[in-house]
Amino acid sequence: MTLYMLQEAQGTWMTQQGRSARAGQGHKVGLATKFGIAIGSGAVVAAMGLAFGPSTVLLEAAGVPETMASQWGIAFNVALVSVFALLGGFATKRFRWIFSGLAGGVFGLHVGKAMAAGEFGLGLGLDAAFTMLIGIVLIMIGLLVSVGYVHRGLGEAMELERSGPDTAMMRPSLASTLAEGGLLCVLAVMTLLEPGSPAMLAACAMGAGLLAIMIWGHVRAARAMDEMNRQVWTEGLAAGGTVFILGMVGWAIGQMAGLLPQASAVGMIGFYYLAYLGSTITLIAVRYPSMLAKRSEQGEEADA
């Protein structure tokens, strides 16, 4: 939930707030530059989606049987996500968020594309139009997440180079982000597993471990901040976590009441994204006052 989400929705907000929280530095990038970064990174992610999203279609066109093409398409995209996640893990500070964003983007595009194409939803007996709507929403969220992370990476490359990153904060935050990406990958794999099978249980255990890493990363990152940013960070996490839990409880009640399709993994991913969205909105609401303060500060310094 790190944060960061529609991030400025996720992008701008995370770039400004996250960067300041990490390095204690002011925001010096102009509005035009920020828009340029947002548009540019968005174009990159969109181009990636166009290039890699239809991989299944390309395989089918190459004569690969439909079922096999679908499986290889999934494998290809999962591999792509893994590669980007690994690159993010080994990359220097200026590229780690960019690769993480690309990984998240490919994942969001893949799941969203599959949903939009009815590969999951129709098999679960969902209405085609409803399935496509969910898929489109997931694609949009995937793009927003990607733009946010990429934007953040570019922003940090520009802002933190001068003073150096706060490694005490960045490393656990990076671990948390990578664990989150891994958790999403595990959830994706779970959609292919049989409920109750040993593989599904192993995937659940792995997911729980990654979730623990996420929590650890958030806690360590918060400890590395100064007291005001830690307070804001903690409030945001508490609010986001509450929204997340409420979302999960709602999903569970919906399942038990028979109001939601019996599609555990797919439903979990959907609610994960929805909880992510809710968390981000909540975080923005919690942090909005500090955003206003920052703008006031910038104006004050500009006057000076």
Shortest CA distance to 55 belongs to which of 73, 40, 71? Answer: 73
Number of shown-chain residues binding another protein (CB under 8 A): 17
Stretch that binds another protein, among 39-47, 107-115, 220-228, 263-271 (CB under 8 A): 220-228
For the chain, how long is the longest CA-to-CA vector? Answer: 68
Q: From the CB of 112, what's the least distance to another protein, in Å?
A: 36
294 interacts with another protein by CB under 8 A = yes
Q: From the CB of 286, what's the least distance to another protein, in Å?
A: 14
**Contacts of another protein in 23-52 (CB under 8 A):** 23-26
Decide: helix, strand or coil at residue 105.
helix
Name which of 17 and 191 has its Cβ closer to another protein.
Answer: 17
Cβ proximity of 5 and 106 under 8 Å:
no
Stretch that binds another protein, among 17-25, 42-50, 215-223, 241-249 (CB under 8 A): 17-25
Q: Which two tokens stand for residue 38?
A: 């947002």
Phi-psi region of 64 (alpha: psi -120 to 50; beta: other; left: phi over 0): beta
Q: Which of 50, 75, 228, 246 binds another protein (CB under 8 A)?
A: 228
Name which of 123 and 223 has its Cβ closer to another protein.
Answer: 223
Site string for another protein, 246-265 (x = CB under 8 A): --------------------
299 interacts with another protein by CB under 8 A = no
Q: What is the CA radius of gyration of the chain?
A: 20
Helix spans in the chain (H): 10-13, 19-23, 31-52, 55-61, 66-90, 93-116, 128-159, 167-190, 198-223, 227-256, 264-303
289 interacts with another protein by CB under 8 A = yes
